Chains A and B, each alone.
Chain A
Amino acid sequence: DTEVTQTPKHLVMGMTNKKSLKCEQHMGHRAMYWYKQKAKKPPELMFVYSYEKLSINESVPSRFSPECPNSSLLNLHLHALQPEDSALYLCASSQDFQRGVTPYEQYFGPGTRLTVT
């Protein structure tokens, strides 16, 4: 089973709203990732969590706030977003994440299509 699930599938929010994106995996993976993908562009890494601790923040604006309540769950809290934040938000997981050590393949969820109005 290589399934990563994400909810909701679609989200429309105003610039003053607060919402959250959720991601879940039951593969026993210890690393989880958030990516942002704009139309016709490749995914861009936002955050990496390893063993429930934030390992990488790719200089993402503070209006995006990640949270990893446990090793199976990853949230992305959204507040005061801008229309240019509209994109497909992808979650991924991998068996482990260790800088510079054995590489592991990442498995992606189906994404949440976010529209900010």
Chain B
Amino acid sequence: EDKVVQSPLSLVVHEGDTVTLNCSYEVTNFRSLLWYKQEKKAPTFLFMLTSSGIEKKSGRLSSILDKKELFSILNITATQTGDSAIYLCAPRNTDKLIFGTGTRLQVFP
């Protein structure tokens, strides 16, 4: 059975801190891994990773995939209160995205 584990489940930091969110997976017929940010409603697309070792960056966010060890990390540097959200990791197999339960990040001023 496909499995996605995100850690930590919850994280509380102060503005300016750097955080690392982890996602490990066991997915049959793995094709790619996506990261989403979910605030009150719709998940917002952040990154799609298909190759190992190639870091994707967008502003203060970056992510990398290790297909040999079956994990991905999402880094956020210089966190801001607007980064407070649930971060969802979703590996994709041939058919669909398989979402993890997410990491809830709270950033306080």
Contact = CB atoms under 8 A, between A and B. Distances in A.
A103 B32 contact: yes
A106 B45 contact: yes
Contacts of A88: 41
Given A88-B41, A108-B43, A45 B97 contact: yes
B80 interface: no
A81 interface: no
B48 A108 contact: no
A105 interface: yes
A57 to B, nearest CB: 11
Contact of B44 (A44, A45, A108): A108
Contacts of A106: 34, 45, 97
Q: How large is the interface on B (under 10, 10 to 19, 20 to 34, 35 or more residues)?
A: 20 to 34
Nearest to B32: A103
B26 to A, nearest CB: 16
A103 B31 contact: yes
The interface size bin for chain A is 20 to 34
Nearest to A42: B99
B52 to A, nearest CB: 15
A110 B41 CA distance: 5
Contact of A100 (B36, B44, B90, B94): B94
Contacts of A108: 36, 42-45
Nearest to B93: A100
Contact of A103 (B50, B101, B102): B50
B94 to A, nearest CB: 4
B41 to A, nearest CB: 5
Interface in A41-63: 41-45, 48, 56, 58
A109 B45 CA distance: 11
A42 B100 CA distance: 6
A21 to B, nearest CB: 14
Interface of A: 2, 4, 41-45, 48, 56, 58, 88, 90, 99-100, 103, 105-111
Interface of B: 29, 31-32, 34, 36, 41-45, 48, 50, 88, 90, 92, 94-97, 99-102
